A and B are shown apart, each in its own frame.
Chain A
Amino acid sequence: MRVSVDTGRCVGAAQCSRVEPELFDQDDDEGVVLLLTPHPPASLQAGARTAADICPVRAITIEEPTAGFESASSGPGHHPTSDSHVHCQ
């Protein structure tokens, strides 16, 4: 699973950090979402989906890996400029 957040859309409702605080945090100065890792471990993936569902401005995007390739790479749609240093967990 690959998670991305759009901080430009975020309105600081803090619903994601409420449902999955180990994956989402808030910037103290701005109050907008901070994504702690774009590749959450299995234990956080259900929370990631719930957060994406209840985010009031749909600022959380989840890309599910194609079956069979989960651990092979960070998957399609990878944004090399923003997080190419982060590897799959």
Chain B
Amino acid sequence: MTIEATAPPVPDFPMRRGCPFDPPPQYGPMREDGPAFRVRLPDTTIAWVVPRYDDVRRLLVDPRISSDRTRPGYPFLTEDSRYLSKVRVFVGMDPPEHGPHRRMFIPGFTARRIKALRPAIEENVTQRLAELAAGPRPADLVTALALPVPTLAIAQLLGVPDEDYTRFAALTGGLMTENPPRELFDELLAFVRALVSAKCAEPGDDMLGRIAAEQVATGAMSVHELVVMALLLLFAGYETTANMIALGTLTLLQHPEQLAELRADPSLMPAAVDEMLRYLSIAELATCRTAVADIDLGEGVVIRAGEGVIPLGASANRDPAAFERPDEFDIHRTERHHLAFGYGPHQCIGANLARLELEIVFTSLIRDFPGLRLAVPFGELRFKRDANLFGVHELPVTW
């Protein structure tokens, strides 16, 4: 008999969902069994996953973990993320280098700047819903509403000129189809390069314009770095929000009593949006890290310097030690400490913009479409089960 025969197998990661509303079923038993577990990544390297709320939150502010993608041991989940990691932008920096770079972008995301986007987002939602109402039934809510809302918000944020908006929307929408052609990404890259070049030539009073004037013109940042940063903001804010709009709508349709409460009292919506974010936790795989020193998590588990660490936000958000009845969707929750936007210095910079978009969309949709319902049986919905950002491919609805 050998020792190998009794060693538990290392499970593959990412793990996949069973019920589309719940995290992978392995997470619950892991939370009970220990503070961290070894998993095998798609490129066959071994990394740690951390399932408990307290550990996840503590690790994400721990200076002993690094977001630097160039460190050996960094756990890449896809080849695309490896590609983007070659350019030094703030999402891949650690303190103290990280702070000054992130601060270049913070003024574009202040509460006042986000609030100023509200009229444009509301007008866009109103138009999309009017088109939906006038169009054929059933309709796909993903293409009719979920994708167009963040497209406009990001175009506003990046300062895409009105005359280029149709092309921007076509490129970003095209990339959301299944297996988009590689050329489409190259076209989007060329579009963003041209946009950044224009901002450098004539900086306006928008986020890219201000960074072009203050950072690129002074040599503190290269044009290419700003291009990659603009692309990262686009990807970070686009499919995430679109998937939340579609899955959030589906969640409300599955909880008709709570939907009715929200329709009767729209002031409940901000808390409901945060509950959707906690409950669905679609973007937990965005927080990959590397240990830069040994980290003792207790119960005999020590993560060694140089090992990859993936704190599981979706598991943390269902941890009964942090939330009562964690597996219930309840818009009346008052706790606000979920980790759907991550935690630590890299917490999502666009969190409040995402919240605003979601509040506007759901408030308008359930007000204007009181008879909204699925147009196919639930079992026929096609979920993005193999994607690292969970979502639904189409959401056929009628009313």
Contact = CB atoms under 8 A, between A and B. Distances in A.
Contacts of B110: 12, 14, 26, 28, 31
Interface residues of A, number: 23
A57 B345 contact: yes
A83 interface: no
B344 A57 contact: yes
Interface stretch (B98-106, B135-143, B298-306): B98-106
B50 to A, nearest CB: 17
A50 B106 CA distance: 22
Max chain A Cβ within 10 angstroms of own Cβ: one of B102, B106, B111, B348 = B106
A30 B60 CA distance: 24
Interface string B332-346: 000011000111110
Task: Determine the main DSSP class of A at the interface with B.
Answer: loop
B61 interface: yes
B351 A12 contact: no
Contacts, number: 65
Contact of B347 (A8, A13, A17, A18): A13
A14 B348 CA distance: 10
A12 B348 CA distance: 10
Contacts of B106: 11-12, 30-32
A56 B111 contact: no
Given A30-B103, A30-B106, A31-B106, A14 B111 contact: yes
Q: Size class of B's contact patch? A: 20 to 34
Contacts of A28: 107, 110, 112
A20 B112 CA distance: 15
Contacts of B107: 28-31
A54 interface: yes
A87 interface: no
Contacts of B99: 8-9, 11
A22 interface: no
Interface of A: 8-9, 11-15, 17-19, 21, 26, 28-32, 50, 53-54, 56-58
Interface of B: 60-61, 99, 102-103, 106-107, 109-112, 336-337, 341-345, 347-349, 351-352
8 contacts: A12-B109, A14-B109, A14-B111, A19-B336, A26-B110, A31-B109, A57-B344, A57-B345
